[in-house]
Chains A and B, each alone.
Chain A
Amino acid sequence: MDVFFTQHSLLAVVILTIAAVTLLVCPVRLAKSMAAGAGTLACAVATLPAIFAPSSETLPVVLVCTIAALASMLLLPSDLERDDDAVESTSLILLGAAGGIVLATTTNLLSMMLGLETLSLSAAVLTALGRGPRALEASFKFFVLGAVSVATMVYGMALITCATGSLDLGAPLPVTDLERHLRTAGLVLLVLGIAFELAIVPMQFGALGAYTVAPTAVAGFAMTTSKLAAGLAMLKVANVAGGEVLHPILVALGTLSILWATFAALAQVELRAMLAYSAVAHAGFLTFGIGLGEVGRQAAVFYAVTYVAAVALVFASLAGRSGAPITLASLRAQPLDRLRSAGLALGLLSLAGVPPSPGFWAKLGVLVPGWSAAGPWWTILATTGGVLGALYYLRPLPDLLAGARDAATTSTAAVPGSRFAVTVLASVVLLLTAMPFLATQLAAITNR
């Protein structure tokens, strides 16, 4: 039997899964804090084997997935419709993290599908746990479109297996023309299956709804873990032998995602909806970088890392404000406290790609090689989308910075743990601002 992914990441997956199942079948009704504590413990234990992993990509992936899970577990309870859902939600987050690790670290097609399915199913159910009927509707759409993507992926797997006789992504290239064509078609379908989790055109609609109405912590979890895992999976697919044929497709899909999502985001007045569209635009940049091939590989990973840090910071700052729409007016009427305002502002600056935030360096890293690798026109279009994005990200900034001044008396109550999460994530973003090479070290590691 092939070793589909390293034993260390497998061990992390097993630990997370056992913890999730144990929580679900536990006969005693656990309190919110107990469930979160158990989840935290599981995340911490799952990280341990990754520390000793010989494969250099295991630790960063496991760390990001478990930290995102940890943050979501801490911040989720205040967003839930019913307190009784705390145990189920903790369990689903742990399963989602396990799915993310599998998707990001495996080269086996079956495991890849398993990871994608686990991740999207847990996200679909978590979305349904949000407040109001819109959450159920979004969850249902996410589920149906997820099924379409999995079906696409299965067709792709079937074609690749038919052509190469193996379920391994790195199997030797087929000999005959027909087999090569089958494999190419399979790779395209595989990419489109992953595109759903990454939320790029034309598979973006399910994620858009879920990101907008899911509980804040779930949306944050989906935008971080899903994006990173799906991005790394797509990177693997795009860089297999013969995967060059995918590069122009990825550049085109990335650019379309950037442009469509940027313009659509300009029309949004609600912050969560704007962030949902922006997630599509960022996935577009990531895909654009992956589509550049070898020259964009390191930049794509760097982009994913900086995006994950920024978006996690934004959602940690917004924790506890699910339900009511978050608009400029509501931010003025109910300003956040100073720390969370500053965190949100910093996160938005990085998402906007305004210097000297790490988001700026990430965009520069992806777009600069684009001119020679993808051609001037694609680069011009992607750059246009990139700079116009600043128009919607920066809109709330004056209010955030001005409101933070006197928020001590008028702010909404902070969710326990959110201040800690904001502090840690803001430190990470600031560290990457001054020393972006730290993220590129990570990118270099995964490049080996």
Chain B
Amino acid sequence: MTFFAWAFLFTLPGLLLTALGVTVGKGKRPGSASVAGPVLVALAGLVWLCGSQVPVVVRIADWLPVLSDSAFSLRLDALSAVMLVVVGLVSACVYVYSLSYMRGDPGQRRFFVYLDFFVAAMNLLVLGGNLAVLLAGWASVGLASFLLIAFWRDREHTLSAGLQALGANAVGDAALFLAAAMVPAGMGDLTTLPSATQGFPGGATLLAWLLVVAACAKSAQGLLYFWLPSAMAGPTPVSALIHAATMVAAGVYLLVRTAGTLALAPSVLETTAWIGAVTAVLSGFASLAQTNYKRGLAYSTCGQLGFMFAAVGFGAPFAAFFHLVTHASFKALLFLCAGAVIHAAHGEEELSKLGGMRHKLPQVRWLTLIGSLALCGLPLVTAGAYSKDLILEAGLHAMPALGWLLVGSVFLTGLYAGRLYFGVFGATSEHESAGRAPADQAHAVHAPDRLLIAPLLPLALGAIVLGWFGSSLGSTLQPLLGTPPEIHAVSKLTWLAGALGLGGFLTARLWQSAQRGNARIPAFGVPFADLLASLGRAIAAASTLLHSGRLSSYVFAAVLGIGTLLLWTMTGRA
């Protein structure tokens, strides 16, 4: 079993082979040599889960002697094993999908190399046994995300979108860096963090704050939400894998992994719940204001991650993690379906131009419907219902006001999910209401091939059945997260939330019909990212003013500095 703790290396052979131009299979598709990597990663997690489930710890002592905990440490336990399965399976689907989606792109080989690097980094994050290794994976996924967002260099704004992501992630990296600096003695084992905080100024509360800030940056929560919608500039498979199912969930994973530390700081937990709930509600409204299909889905991701954050804040880490697992399935499905639509429409992403796709892409339509209903939380038959109900239950129990706010936001979820679904697949008044298909699209649409559709099927299956395995997941994670709450297939709350979600979804149908497929609310909010960028540019410009090119200024600065330091030292302030 020790071998499986090295699962983060499983995609590296594929990376090397693809980089060298090796292909497998009949089609000679670049990147085909990489597909086996994520499958092996998922198998590693599955084998561990099906085995004796004894945690595996790998420690290479004195690997980095400059740190007080100098070991390279890996830990394979129930939490990391489940994450390996999630990351591996979603990645495998995205890899296969990308073989078709990226066909003909001159950078296809580079794309798969970046994907392999991302999966390796994500698995390193998941398997990190101490803060140093977790931090290495944490920052590496940020780099991979930047490279993939800026993948299409000939398109506008891809680099600035990548830099936005990098900037927001840098805030999280700094917070985690400081957490590592704060508890150097606790770096040895993530499970001993609570005891390691004793005796440090600020103690557990400060450490918990740092962890929450790091998680907010990675999961696009609170004020750090802005990078995720911009990240949609990258290829759609990337949006599905990194910006919906895996990397953005890393923040939630971190909070669940360090739930023991967070529990020592009730004020931080309460704030986390507020951050999550407010993000969930505001993201819902923001999604309703989008004209771009992928950006609408991106805000939906922010909202669902908000549900997970709120769950952590309610003291229900299992509910958060369960929703992470189900969300990975249905959100990856929704993004890949969106990719199929965009692919069919020659790269068009504007909702106003995508209407009436239901006759062109019937399979994609049904799969999108499954994903959308799972997002709304349709009771009994979708996975999202089970995990979301757990969160709502925890909220109503721990912080009733916030709990009811989240219950209300389920209607909003249904509304934006329905708006996107009916905006793309519903009849548009201009075309289908007149009994004819949009003429310009009828012959222009690319029919999706087998490779584009096949990976959607397991994800759709997951979006339906994963909820039924909640109890098994709970008992698997019991040693780490405590006794899981009872999962009800049917309860009053289930029916209420289901009715709200479905009500929102059907309301969107009426709204779209009334608005001829162009339903949206006016855009709102402050251009937060632009303000930050302007501030950064101003500070940068001010910093360079000192380097004026005038020798006299330089000598003056040197002499002033020397005088100041001498004065500082001699007055005993140093």
Q: Is A11 an interface residue (CB 8 A)?
A: no
Q: How far is the CA of A149 from the CA of B546 in the complex (A)?
A: 19
Across the interface, do A185 and B570 meet the contact criterion of CB distance under 8 Å?
yes
- The residue among A206, A249, A394 with the most chain B CB atoms within 10 A of its own CB is A394
A387 contacts B177, C-beta separation under 8 Å = yes
Interface residues on B, range: 35 or more
Asked if B448 is at the interface of the complex by the 8 Å CB criterion, the answer is: no
22 A-B contacts (beta carbon < 8 Å): A141-B554, A144-B555, A145-B555, A185-B570, A202-B558, A202-B562, A203-B561, A205-B558, A249-B568, A260-B543, A260-B546, A266-B536, A367-B177, A371-B182, A383-B177, A383-B178, A387-B174, A390-B170, A401-B147, A405-B110, A440-B65, A444-B65
**Please, which residue of chain B has its CB at the minimum distance from the CB of A296?**
B66
Q: For residue B561, which residue of chain A has the nearest CB?
A: A202
A205/B547 contact (C-beta < 8 A), A189-B562, A267-B540 known: yes
Encoded as 1 (CB less than 8 Å from any B CB) or 0, chain A from 175 to 198 comes to 000000100110011001000100
Residues on the B chain within 8 Å of A268, using CB: 544
Interface residues of B (CB under 8 A from A): 62-68, 106-107, 110, 132, 135-137, 139-140, 143, 146-147, 150-151, 153, 158-159, 162-163, 166-167, 170-171, 173-174, 177-178, 180-182, 184, 187, 201-202, 536-537, 539-544, 546-547, 549, 551, 553-555, 557-562, 565-566, 568-570, 574
**Known contacts A188-B569, A380-B178, A387-B173: A401-B110 contact under CB 8 Å:** yes
Q: Are B64 and A440 in contact (CB under 8 A)?
A: yes
Does A248 lie within 8 Å of B140, measured CB to CB? no
Closest to B62 in A: A437
Q: Which residues of A sit under 8 angstroms from B166, Cβ to Cβ?
A: 390-391, 394
Given the known interface contacts A189-B562, A202-B562, the answer about A364 and B180 at a Cβ–Cβ threshold of 8 Å is yes
Docked CA distance A402–B155 (Å):
13
Task: Flag whether A307 is at the interface (Cβ < 8 A).
Answer: no
Are B547 and A394 interface neighbours, CB within 8 A?
A: no
Could you tell me the dominant secondary structure of chain A's interface residues? helix
Q: Name the A residues within 8 Å of B151 (CB-CB).
A: 398
B143 / chain A contacts, CB cutoff of 8 Å: 349, 354-355, 394
> B residues within 8 A CB of A266?
536-537, 539-540
Identify the A interface with B (CB < 8 A).
140-141, 144-145, 148-149, 152, 181, 184-185, 188-189, 192, 196, 201-203, 205-206, 208-209, 245-246, 248-249, 253, 260, 263-268, 298-299, 302, 332, 349, 354-356, 360-372, 376, 379-380, 383-384, 386-388, 390-391, 394-395, 397-399, 401-402, 405, 436-437, 440, 443-444
Cβ distance B102 to chain A, nearest Cβ, rounded Å: 14
Q: A185-B569, A365-B67, A398-B159 are in contact. Are A370 and B181 (CB under 8 A)?
A: yes
Bound-state Cα–Cα, A24 to B529, Å: 58
Q: Cβ of A360 and Cβ of B64 under 8 Å apart?
A: no
Assuming A184-B570, A188-B569, A388-B170, is B140 touching A208 (CB within 8 A)?
no
With A260-B543, A437-B64: A184-B147 Cβ-Cβ less than 8 Å? no
Report whether A205 and B554 are in contact in the complex, using a CB–CB cutoff of 8 Å: yes
Complex contacts, B182 vs chain A, CB 8 Å: 371, 376
B107 touches A436 (CB 8 A): no
Q: Shortest beta-carbon distance, A271 to chain B, in Å?
A: 15
Do residues A263 and B540 form an inter-chain contact, with CB atoms below 8 A?
Answer: yes
3 tightest A-B contacts by CB?
A202-B561, A365-B66, A267-B540
Contacts of A387 in B (CB 8 A): 170-171, 173-174, 177
* Minimal Cβ-Cβ distance residue in A for B151: A398
Chain B nearest Cβ from A186, distance in angstroms: 10
Bound CA span A253–B547, Å: 17
Q: Which residues of A contact B540 (CB under 8 A)?
A: 263-267
Complex formed: what's the CA distance from A206 to B171 in Å? 32
Shortest distance in angstroms between B129's beta carbon and chain A's nearest beta carbon? 15
What's the Cα separation between A360 and B557 when bound, in Å?
32
Choose one: A209, A299, A397, A440; the contact of B147 (CB below 8 Å): A397
Q: How far is the CB of B167 from chain A (nearest CB, A)?
A: 6
Give the nearest-CB partner of A268 in chain B.
B544
Taking A203-B561, A260-B543 as contacts, is the C-beta distance between A364 and B177 under 8 angstroms?
Answer: yes
Chain B residues, CB < 8 A from A395: 159, 163
Please measure, in the bound complex, the distance between the C-alpha atom of A394 and the C-alpha atom of B115, giving whole angstroms.
18
In the bound complex, residues from chain B placing their C-beta under 8 Å from that of A192 are 561-562, 565
Complex Cα–Cα for A139 and B140 (A): 40
Is A355 a contact partner of B201 (Cβ separation < 8 A)?
Answer: no
Which interface residue of A248, A355, A369, A388 has the most chain B CB atoms within 10 A?
A355
CB distance from B62 to the nearest CB of A (A): 6
- In the complex, besides A299-B66, A354-B143, A376-B201, 9 extra interface pairs with C-beta distance below 8 angstroms are A181-B570, A192-B565, A266-B536, A364-B67, A369-B68, A386-B174, A399-B153, A402-B110, A437-B63
